Amino acid sequence: MEATQTSQKTVDQVWAKRPLIISGPCSAETEEQVIETATQLAKTGKIDALRAGIWKPRTRPGSFEGIGTKGLAWLQQARKITGLPLAVEVATAKQVEDALHFDIDILWIGARTTVNPFSVQEVADALRGVKLPVLIKNPINPDLELWIGAAERVAKAGVEKIGLIHRGFSSYGNTEYRNAPMWHLAIEMKRRNPGMMMICDPSHISGRRDILQAVAQKSLDLDYDGLMIESHIDPDNAWSDAKQQVTPAKLVELLDGLLWRREMVEEAAPVLDKLREQINHIDDELMQLLSQRMKIADNIGQFKKDNNITILQTNRWNEILEKAFKKGEKLGLTKEFIVKYFDAVHMESINHQNNIMNS
Ligand code: PEP
Ligand code: MN
């Protein structure tokens, strides 16, 4: 096994670095490609760790399924030259064993693995007693419990450095994104795991180059701890995920174009406190009004019960929505929000009426 480079930051230092920037090709393809990408990335001085897929979980057989274990030796070589720590995806016990054998620094569990508790447990068991940091991608389906479960399984195996990667959720049909970000799920995941590192993978969310930066910026504005972005010396001819990879030079442009905002500063606190006080006040009033609204729904429920009338009146519901869209537009509220808000209020109102009518 190769000696650790003196220029290499320790993995502890890398793990603590904010923002943490991981980049490298979707897949290791050839020795030259790995080393050239790593060299160009290292030269930028903006990268903390080198990623490369060695075993690729492809959706359909026949796509490039990864170069396999020999790619680990190329990665070692790249680390020797650049000093960049190495991050690799693992999905089976054997892959963990191989990655450990080649002294990989950081492991990650991919989205197609996080969905399967058997696979996560297999990886977790193989990690018992191992001190490496492990990053866990969100599962491909929007199920927070699976993501949390995977983190718990890895934690139970004794892994202490656990981080999360938000890479979006798959959906049926063509959308703007390859994997819909569903930011609210990642925000909820952060809320439920305070202090756990969360980085964004704009590459797999976007699936294309033109929106990478906007997605990355959004994650920074949500106070993420870092980014994992795929890069390749010749993206158009990449053996996997060609459409979303960028050259190291483009990556620098992208990173330089991002605004890294501060979480909080002392002088901002009084100003924000005042504005937040106003928000709290309005939230209180909204709650009071909603409670009043539901009391009226109760009365309507009683009336409908006495007169044997159905709860749902589709015409009335349409009328409410149409009116709200028009009014919302004038008030600067999006149609999307109006639908969500009225859906929630309407459902709560139906539940109230249902309780009365069937009590
Ligand atoms: C990858 O990082 O190349 C990868 C396969 O990602 P995901 O698990 O997010 O699909
Ligand atoms: Mn990829």
Q: Taking all residues of the chain, what is their mean pLDDT, rounded to a whole number?
A: 94
Q: Is 137 in the pocket of ligand 1 (CB under 6 A)?
A: yes
Is residue 251 in contact with ligand 1, taking CB distance under 6 Å? Answer: no
Q: Are 113 and 140 in contact (CB under 8 A)?
A: no
Q: Is the CB of 135 under 6 A from ligand 1?
A: no
- Predicted confidence (pLDDT) per residue in 221-277, tens digit: 999 999 999 999 999 999 999 999 999 999 999 999 999 987 778 888 899 999 999
Q: Name residue 264's amino acid.
A: M
Count Cβ atoms below 10 Å from residue 287 Cβ, excluding itself. 10
Q: What pLDDT is recorded for position 135?
A: 98
Cα atoms in the Cβ-side hemisphere of radius 13 Å centred on 6: 0
21 phi and psi, to 5 degrees? -115, 115
- Beta-strand ranges (E) seen in 113-240 are 134-137, 162-166, 197-200, 226-230
pLDDT 10s digits, 285-344? 999 999 999 999 999 999 999 999 888 888 888 999 999 999 999 999 999 999 999 999
Contacting residues for 218 by C-beta, under 8 A, at least 6 apart = 181, 183
- Rounded to two decimals, the pTM is 0.85
CA distances from 300 to 317, 349, 353 (A): 14, 10, 7
For 56-65, 81-90, 319-328, which range has the lowest pLDDT when averaged over its residues? 56-65
- Ligand 1 atom 2: the closest Cα is on which residue? 26
**Tens-digit pLDDT profile for residues 286-296:** 999 999 999 99
Beta strands in the chain (DSSP E): 20-24, 49-51, 86-89, 106-109, 134-137, 162-166, 197-200, 226-230
Ligand 1 lined by 26 (C-beta under 6 Å) = yes
**Domains observed in the chain:** 8-256 (3.20.20.70), 266-357 (1.20.59.10)
- Ligand 2 center–CA 240 separation, angstroms: 6
Contact 224, 198 (CB under 8 A): yes
pLDDT computed for residue 68 by the predictor: 96
- For 33-180, list the strands marked E by DSSP: 49-51, 86-89, 106-109, 134-137, 162-166
Rounded to an integer, what distance in angstroms lies between the CA atom of residue 283 and that of residue 83? 52
Provide the 10 A C-beta neighbour count for residue 54.
23
With bands split at pLDDT 50, 70 and 90, how would you rate the model's confidence at 150? very high
Q: Mean pLDDT, to the nearest integer, of 87-105?
A: 98
Instruction: Check residue 8 and give its pLDDT.
Output: 63
